[in-house]
Structure 1
């Protein structure tokens, strides 16, 4: 057994001990398989914040779209861009959802509302309008091109939000945020773990446990959220 496989075995053993059998886990959230607009908002806004703040933003957007006569559960990126135009732009969108968080703590960092807008523009220009388009691109020859377009958006260079975007669009995966990496590092008795390594280990552990990577990701996240 090589080093990576041994680490995955250790992680799977830790999951069994700490999280219990998969039959006791709560189902992972369904994401937004019909709304790329909500996928974009959630994936960018969720970076580095408590998730309740993200839920509030999503709820505000849903309410606004329904008041306009729209269907937020089926919105594509063009609908999101049209909404931005209607409210007056990113600054006004941030006011509407009552959230002026930025993509980083750097004083010059752009608002997340601005990053969402730029991401929607980038996807639209790349020919990605719906979750179906995104799933097709991410599982085909276009994956590298669309991923690079996403990672060029301010604050999205690490690729973590890209992975989460795909998960929200209902592709199986792992979001290697700080809570996932913390759990994996603790299981392996390491000081830290790189995002890509965490993804590989969680995916392999999921295979050993006969569960989806998304299910394991969510159960680890729930556990870490509870003890934070």
Structure 2
């Protein structure tokens, strides 16, 4: 499947909602706090974004926004344990899963900080250095990833991938949720291969003049509903249907993506 300029413009429009005027991302991330990355990642699944934001805001109100994994663990210990910490600091008693008798997510957070301590990880930089380019899943997965997924109710790896996204890692797994994102608006699912998804993301990053990592983070967080697009935002009306058929195109519209011509037409200046 060829990567068409209409697909690039469609993805760019969906990403622009989460970019500032200077191209600075407004997706969720905590490059200066591994503690906040851990909190957000472990409270993400099954939670509304507002509930996650509340957990993070309550913690930062108490401790600031630069805590590492060690400081997060100290916070839990100082409160008297996970349950007291959940009641007094983050005001959230959500369980780790829906089965009766499930432990609190706060307990999973505490255990996650121990995983980090066991691997000598305290900061975001420590985490990124420990993970490197090693895979996050499968037989050859990074040892930190394996230890994280052994935490209660974290076997799926969703919270681990969320952690990496929040930390600014280049890791990006194209699972069913991500492929679902590239659905009807792009006229591609399920025909789009992983390589084609990555090619489209790369072309869109070039089009928007941002790092590829930024587009990956936005796509992943929308796919997992950590970011919620504005339902009232005006839809993008392109000059022809979004499908894989090669309709007759206007002369001003390039037939396919060419990075050398990216700035060659005024119509490419913005996806809006």
Q: Into which bin does the TM-score normalised by the smaller protein fall?
A: 0.7 to 0.9
1:217 to partner: Cα distance? 4.1
Name the larger-Rg structure. Answer: 2
Query: Residue in 2 aligned with 1:215?
Result: 215
1:21 to partner: Cα distance? 7.8
Query: Residue in 1 aligned with 2:201?
Result: 206
How far apart, CA to CA, are the structure 2 residues paired with 1:199 and 1:91?
Answer: 42
How far apart, CA to CA, are the structure 1 residues paired with 2:147 and 2:34?
Answer: 16
1:179 to partner: Cα distance? 6.0
Within 5 Å, which residues of 2 pair with 1:47-58? 47-58=45-56
RMSD, matched Cα: 3.5
How far apart, CA to CA, are the structure 1 residues paired with 2:163 and 2:195?
Answer: 18
How far apart, CA to CA, are the structure 1 residues paired with 2:28 and 2:14?
Answer: 21
How far apart, CA to CA, are the structure 2 residues paired with 1:44 and 1:182?
Answer: 23
1:224 to partner: Cα distance? 5.6
1:32 to partner: Cα distance? 1.3
Structure 1 residues 201 and 82: CA distance shift in structure 2, 3 A: farther
Contact 2:31–2:167 (CA under 8 A) maintained in structure 1: yes
The more displaced of 209-218 and 130-139 is 209-218
How far apart, CA to CA, are the structure 1 residues paired with 2:112 and 2:56?
Answer: 16
Structure 1 residues 111 and 22: CA distance shift in structure 2, 3 A: closer
Structure 1 residues 209 and 140: CA distance shift in structure 2, 3 A: closer
Q: Secondary structure at 1:20's aligned position in 2? A: helix
The more displaced of 42-51 and 208-217 is 208-217
Say whether residues 1:124 and 2:122 are aligned partners: no
How far apart, CA to CA, are the structure 1 residues paired with 2:46 and 2:183?
Answer: 18
Q: Which structure features the higher share of helix residues?
A: 1
Query: Residue in 2 aligned with 1:149?
Result: 147
How far apart, CA to CA, are the structure 1 residues paired with 2:178 and 2:160?
Answer: 16
The more displaced of 86-95 and 177-186 is 177-186
Query: Residue in 2 aligned with 1:68?
Result: none
1:105 to partner: Cα distance? 2.2
1:9 to partner: Cα distance? 3.9
Within 5 Å, which residues of 2 pair with 1:1-228? 6=1, 9=3, 14=7, 16-17=9-10, 20=13, 26=19, 27-29=25-27, 31-65=29-63, 72-96=64-88, 97-139=90-132, 144-174=142-172, 180-186=178-184, 187=186, 188-190=188-190, 202-211=197-206, 212-218=212-218, 221=222, 225-227=229-231
1:218 to partner: Cα distance? 1.5
Structure 1 residues 122 and 154: CA distance shift in structure 2, 3 A: same
How far apart, CA to CA, are the structure 2 residues paired with 1:199 and 1:55?
Answer: 31
Contact 1:103–1:154 (CA under 8 A) maintained in structure 2: yes
Contact 2:17–2:229 (CA under 8 A) maintained in structure 1: no
Q: TM-score, normalised by structure 1?
A: 0.75
Which runs of 5 or more structure 1 residues have no equivalent in the other structure? 1-5, 66-71
